[in-house]
Amino acid sequence: MSMQRCGSGWFETLLNSHPNVSSNGEIFSVKQRRSNMSTIKATLDTVYGLEWVSSAAKNDCVAAVGFKWMLNQAVMIYHREIVNYFKQNGVSVIFLFRRNLLGRLVSVLANAYDRDAKLINGTHKSHVHTREEADLLARYKPTLNVSSLISDLSNAELIKAEALEYFKNCRHLVLYYEDLMKNPKALYDAQEFLRVPFRKLVSRQVKIHVKPLSEQINNWQEVYRTLQESKYEYLLRYPDNIS
């Protein structure tokens, strides 16, 4: 479970590089599958009945099967029923969040822009596999709405806190994008949680933004003044860039 632009696509490719793990993608991006609890349950039954067919299917012995579920895809609406389903069926949850909320917001806006602009040969790409493609997407510098900036950051924090509260009684693990980037042990923690043999996990995805946020935001001075002396002032000096 994650939020958009928290590195979940990259993390999923890492998991799927393990021979004993099959994560089937963002299956609840299809609205009909999340229209009510009945359709959600039918979809979950298909996944956990090992009847879901996707490119993540393995010929090896699969020890962990699952998918990526965004928190804005009916998880919060039907959380009570979903928690009951998880408990009854022994489903575990990995939460993936991002500490750099400002970086996440910039990444959300940049990705939304490319959805229309289609900067790479007329094709929208949320994730890239070459440095050339990454640099092309990184040229766009979004302008942040400073009048709603603090409330936007607060809302992201609130959603995270509510999700952790809703699912606190399920077997779960909380990971952060920044830790996965810098600390190899975090990937071992994920494999241990999934009860699979330790393997070196790999991904072909390339980090898009590698410059400081001050060079990635069009109205940086406005953003700086808005966050200065607020509870989010620490984000102005955050060491991590965006992806």
Residue 162, domain extent: 8-237
Is the residue at 2 inside a domain? no
* 214-220: Cβ within 8 A, 24+ apart: 215/141, 216/106, 216/138, 216/141, 216/241, 216/242, 217/106, 217/141, 217/142, 217/143, 217/144, 218/141, 218/142, 218/143, 218/144, 219/143, 219/144, 219/146
Total number of domains constituting the chain: 1
The residue among 87, 17, 111, 109 whose CA lies nearest residue 55 is: 17
Q: Is the whole-model pTM more than 0.85? A: yes
**243 residues of the chain, pLDDT tens digit each:** 999 999 999 999 999 999 999 999 999 999 999 999 999 999 999 999 999 988 777 767 899 999 999 999 999 999 999 999 999 999 999 999 999 999 999 999 999 998 889 889 898 888 888 999 998 899 999 999 999 999 999 999 999 999 999 999 999 999 999 999 888 899 999 999 999 999 999 999 988 888 899 999 999 999 999 999 999 999 998 765 444
Q: How far apart are CA 137 and CA 128, in angstroms?
A: 9
Q: Does residue 242 belong to any structural domain of this protein?
A: no
The answer to whether the beta carbons of residues 137 and 208 sit under 8 Å apart is: yes
Give me the CATH number covering residue 139.
Answer: 3.40.50
Q: Is 1 part of any domain?
A: no
Within 13 Å and on the Cβ side, how many CA atoms surround 144?
29
Task: Output the six-digit token pair for 7.
Answer: 């590195």
Q: Are 102 and 153 in contact (CB under 8 A)?
A: yes
